[in-house]
């Protein structure tokens, strides 16, 4: 019987996360990380933002975007440590920490997105 490896799935998630991060994160960082705090633009008022963020579709979109981006980041960091710093002998530990971290982050995001009122 053919042994199934998780690598193709991980690369698929990495790829999807790369697209999600590239498409969605820059605009969010420009607005909430720079334009609103520095007063370049007037931030959206609270009721409008609250209604937008608590909408089920927004919650779902944020969950998918956060989860995929974190898996992407974890996967990439794993190979950075593996190839870049050449710590191949810790392969299992690094993989566990990277994917474990991504999973914990995704669960934390899910918790926040499910519990905000």
Partner 1 sequence: MGAPFHYTDYHPQWLRPKMSTYWWLTRRSYVAFIAREVSSVFIAWAVAFLVLLVRAIGQGEDAYGQFLVWAATAPVLAMNVVSLLFIVFHAVTWFNLAPAALVVHVGGRKLPGVLIAASNYAAFVFASALIAWLLLG
Q: Is 10 in the site for partner 1 (CB under 8 A)?
A: no
Return the number of the residue (3 or 68) whose C-beta is nearest partner 1. 68
CB distance 69 to 17 below 8 Å: yes
85-107 burial, b at 16+ Cβ within 10 Å, e below that, comes to eeeeeeeeebbeebbeebeebbe
CA distances from 49 to 25, 54, 89 (A): 17, 8, 47
Q: Is 80 in the site for partner 1 (CB under 8 A)?
A: yes
Q: Is 27 in the site for partner 1 (CB under 8 A)?
A: yes
Q: Is 6 in the site for partner 1 (CB under 8 A)?
A: no
Long-range Cβ contacts of 30-33 (<8 Å, 24+ apart): none
CB distance 112 to 62 below 8 Å: no
Q: Is 96 in the site for partner 1 (CB under 8 A)?
A: no
Return the number of the residue (3 or 45) whose C-beta is nearest partner 1. 45
Q: Is 97 in the site for partner 1 (CB under 8 A)?
A: no
Binding site for partner 1 (CB under 8 A): 15, 18-19, 21-34, 36-38, 41, 43-44, 46, 49-50, 52-54, 62, 66, 69-70, 72-77, 79-80, 84-86, 101, 105, 108-109, 112-113, 115-117
């Amino acid at each position: 019987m053919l042994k199934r490896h998780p690598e193709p799935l991980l690369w698929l998630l990495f790829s999807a996360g790369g697209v999600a991060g590239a498409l969605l994160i820059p605009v969010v960082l420009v607005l909430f990380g720079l334009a609103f705090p520095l007063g370049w633009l007037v931030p959206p008022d609270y009721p409008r933002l609250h209604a937008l963020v608590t909408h089920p579709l927004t919650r779902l979109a944020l969950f998918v975007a956060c989860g995929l981006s974190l898996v992407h980041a974890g996967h990439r960091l794993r190979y950075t440590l593996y190839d870049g710093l050449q710590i191949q002998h810790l392969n299992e530990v690094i993989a566990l920490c990277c994917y474990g971290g991504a999973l914990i982050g995704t669960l934390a995001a899910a918790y926040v997105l499910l519990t905000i009122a």
